[in-house]
Structure 1
Amino acid sequence: MSTLPPATAHRAASASIHADGRFHNFRQLPSLGFWGGVKALWRNLTAKSPLAVPVAPIPVLPLTTQDLQHAPDHSLWRLGHSTVLLKLDGKFWLTDPVFAERASPFRFIGPKRFHAAPISLDALPPLEAVLLSHDHYDHLDRDTILLLQQKVGMFITPLGVGDRLIAWGVPAAKVRQLDWWQETQLGSLRMVATPAQHFSGRSLTDGNRTLWASWVLITPTARIFFSGDTGYFDGFKTIGERFGPFDITLVENGAYNEAWADVHMHPEQTVQAHIDLQGKRLVPIHNGTFDLALHAWTEPLQRVSELAARCQVALSTPRFGERLDIANPAHGHAWWDAAANEQTAASPQQAPGQPEAAASPL
């Protein structure tokens, strides 16, 4: 693996915390330690819900280049996990693109996709920019980046993540790296790197060498928040006060567990984060594509739907490949139910109230 240059070289202001060659969250988070990690790995291998992976096909609406070119402006499509395609002011933007079969450093082992992407990489239109939240394998895939780079105008990343792209062969002129609260603009789209509570790394030795971030996207007619991966923290209120209200919040909702509640939100926290952000419509992401946790694959969407209704939060749950109108978003369908019903008939349910075991988070 190529050695990364010091991320401090890119720092125009010290908004994030960087010490001893590593980035840190605003508050110190507990560590599993070596034996805690071994125990978590064992539980991940032995304590998964029998419903962790769908046995019936997940509904995916195929997309073509023509579909995208003819789509109205200010449209949004979930392509899988945290990969979201946006059409804003006539141009296309993509978040955390992962088209790989597995969210893993290996092609033969690791979390495997539940479904194919609604559109191939070749069929994607030219992209004004790709926004990256951090460097974990379910958010940053080397092969996807290298196949995409010829049609991407700019890669917008947190500090240090862009250095990975450059080491992989992406021209440095195509990379902009930002610290928290720094911003850049392409055309009419203003992009602000905002804080998140998470961690980074792609090996056993490079933990937190690169920064993680959420993103605020502002056009003359719309405001969108993209959470990346994060635990719940008071930064959501600050972001909402500075940049809200948001027309759409794309907030992490999936792959959670009490053992890593500091770096991944439970559905209750997803809804609260949306409220803190002063969001008008919540679109839950980070679910439905990879087997990354111990809970049933449908649980995040089921729970967030129930909580949103209880809290009177407007929710949209589009199918993968289904267009969402940012100005007038439809509620969407409980598309996970059909697959879940078929799966329930074939597999025993986890006993009600059974506690989740710990696994290793991404």
Structure 2
Amino acid sequence: MAKLTTPASKPSRHSHSVQFQRGKFRNVAPMQKQGLGKMLGIIWQVLFNKPAEATPKSAVPVEPLSREQLLAAPDNSLYRLGHSTLLLKLQQRFWLTDPVFSERASPFQWAGPKRFHQPPLSIAELPEIEGVILSHDHYDHLDKAAVLALDGKVKHFITPLGVGDTLVQWGIAADKVQQLDWWQVAEVGGLKLTATPSQHFSGRGLTDGNSTLWASWVIQSLELKIFFSGDSGYFDGFKAIGDRLGPFDLTLVETGAYNENWPDVHMQPEHSLQAHLDLRGKHLLPIHNGTFDLALHNWFEPFERITALAHAHGVAIATPRMGQRVDIEAPPAAEAWWRLDEQAVTQLALAEMAA
């Protein structure tokens, strides 16, 4: 086990990584090539063929949070703040995953996917944060404004290789940043954090594709073991992680923003369930949904599909409202809070029956 504190570096200094080849990070399995025609078809669908229920027609229920509530909360608490942004309280310290607080998951705040709901509390209202755990550098996971606003109350930023360089370029002190390759371990604030493989990609502009690494994370306290998927297509890495580091008390698995045209980088709900089983998880909490419109499905579809699949396979699943406290050791049973429009849910059920 290695305790790593990686200084600011250029991406080329990460060439020791097995994943870094010919100047880019790569997945273990080659990704399918989309081709220009297929890519143009996807763009056309996104621009002109969005479903009517791609965004909520009613307000998404959010339970407001306060600093006082969080400080008084017992250990082993978890709160969904949005998309893949989770606040965890472990061993009397707070941790954030992929904090996105901006109005849009976009390089611009005047265009791009807009939030369905506001966060349950602001960055200013958050207590001191022991560490921020980042999975990769896409805009719906790495929010520059949030990182800079959090800097004054965060002790550590833990990232995959190269992502930490971006933070340092933004002004985060290099000694606060730890960058890990897959399977490397950092011990921070009483936790054991392992960067584990995922099947995805990276980039924040037109010329920096795959110049930083992407990762899932194993978060282990004295009492609990949690898996955080970040973004990933389904691959045999989930079983490798489960065999090597499982079982897990809770899996936080991407279930949303999927499409049959990009199976390499995002999972269909059936794959999300299989990933949970591969990981040998006790409870499943689906993430990467309910906050941004990033695909061609109805906004509530991921919840409907994953809960139906979990129930059919006897998997314990939790679907907390944004801001609702979750006891990680005994998560609440799934609650269909997203059924704001029963007609929309009925239409989905009829469509599935017809298929």
Letter in 1 for 2:13: A
Deviation by residue 1:159-209 (Cα, 9 ceiling, x = unmatched): 000111011111111100000000101132000000000000011111100
Q: Which residue of 2 aligns with 1:203?
A: 205
Report the 3-state secondary structure (helix = DSSP H, G, I; strand = E; otherwise coil) of the residue aligned with 2:251: strand
TM-score where L is the length of structure 1: 0.92
Q: Which residue of 2 aligns with 1:299?
A: 301
CA spacing shift, 1:282–1:272, aligned 2, 3 Å: same
Is residue 325 of structure 2 the alignment partner of residue 326 of structure 1? no
Letter in 2 for 1:92: F
Q: Which residue of 2 aligns with 1:41?
A: 43
- Aligned positions of 1:166-185 closer than 5 A: 166-185=168-187
Which protein, 1 or 2, shows the higher relative CO under an 8 Å CA cutoff with sep ≥ 6?
1
Contact 2:23–2:211 under 8 Å retained in 1 = yes
Q: Which residue of 2 aligns with 1:314?
A: 316
Among 44, 60, 63, the residue aligned to 1:61 = 63
Report the 3-state secondary structure (helix = DSSP H, G, I; strand = E; otherwise coil) of the residue aligned with 2:219: strand
CA spacing shift, 1:51–1:154, aligned 2, 3 Å: same
Is residue 16 of structure 2 the alignment partner of residue 7 of structure 1? no
Letter in 1 for 2:351: P
Query: Gaps spanning 5+ residues in structure 1: where?
Result: 357-362
TM superposition shift of 1:7: 2.6
What is the number of residues matched between the two proteins?
348
Q: Which residue of 1 aligns with 2:341?
A: 340
Report the 3-state secondary structure (helix = DSSP H, G, I; strand = E; otherwise coil) of the residue aligned with 1:199: coil
TM-score where L is the length of structure 2: 0.94
Q: Distance in 2 between matches of 1:6 and 1:233?
A: 29
Q: Distance in 2 between matches of 1:331 and 1:269?
A: 21
TM superposition shift of 1:332: 3.7
Contact 1:319–1:332 under 8 Å retained in 2 = no
Deviation by residue 1:197-223 (Cα, 9 ceiling, x = unmatched): 000001111110000000001111000
Report the 3-state secondary structure (helix = DSSP H, G, I; strand = E; otherwise coil) of the residue aligned with 1:257: coil
Contact 2:301–2:348 under 8 Å retained in 1 = no
Q: Which residue of 1 aligns with 2:5?
A: none
TM superposition shift of 1:18: 1.1
Letter in 2 for 1:278: R
Is residue 108 of structure 2 the alignment partner of residue 109 of structure 1? no
Contact 1:49–1:350 under 8 Å retained in 2 = no
Q: Which residue of 2 aligns with 1:352?
A: 351
Letter in 2 for 1:352: A
Report the 3-state secondary structure (helix = DSSP H, G, I; strand = E; otherwise coil) of the residue aligned with 1:352: helix
Report the 3-state secondary structure (helix = DSSP H, G, I; strand = E; otherwise coil) of the residue aligned with 1:148: helix
Report the 3-state secondary structure (helix = DSSP H, G, I; strand = E; otherwise coil) of the residue aligned with 1:147: helix
Q: Distance in 2 between matches of 1:119 and 1:342?
A: 31
Is residue 102 of structure 2 the alignment partner of residue 100 of structure 1? yes
Deviation by residue 1:111-149 (Cα, 9 ceiling, x = unmatched): 000000001010000000000000000000100100001
Q: Distance in 2 between matches of 1:147 and 1:326?
A: 28
Q: CA RMSD in A?
A: 1.9
Q: Distance in 1 between matches of 2:349 and 2:328?
A: 37
- Aligned positions of 1:144-159 closer than 5 A: 144-159=146-161
Q: Distance in 2 between matches of 1:351 and 1:329?
A: 31
TM superposition shift of 1:355: 11
Q: Distance in 1 between matches of 2:166 and 2:343?
A: 42
Q: Distance in 2 between matches of 1:300 and 1:20?
A: 37
Among 211, 225, 228, the residue aligned to 1:226 = 228
Contact 1:255–1:287 under 8 Å retained in 2 = yes
TM superposition shift of 1:350: 10
**Stretch of structure 1 that moved more, 192-201 or 238-247:** 238-247
Q: Distance in 1 between matches of 2:14 and 2:274?
A: 33
Q: Distance in 1 between matches of 2:82 and 2:73?
A: 19
Q: Distance in 2 between matches of 1:31 and 1:104?
A: 24
Among 248, 253, 264, the residue aligned to 1:246 = 248
Among 288, 291, 305, the residue aligned to 2:290 = 288
TM superposition shift of 1:8: 4.3
Q: Distance in 2 between matches of 1:182 and 1:355?
A: 47
Letter in 1 for 2:306: V
Deviation by residue 1:264-317 (Cα, 9 ceiling, x = unmatched): 000000000000000000000000000001100000000000000001100001
Deviation by residue 1:220-258 (Cα, 9 ceiling, x = unmatched): 100000000000000111101111110000000001000
Q: Distance in 1 between matches of 2:103 and 2:43?
A: 22
TM superposition shift of 1:262: 1.0
Q: Which residue of 2 aligns with 1:26?
A: 28
Q: Which residue of 2 aligns with 1:193?
A: 195
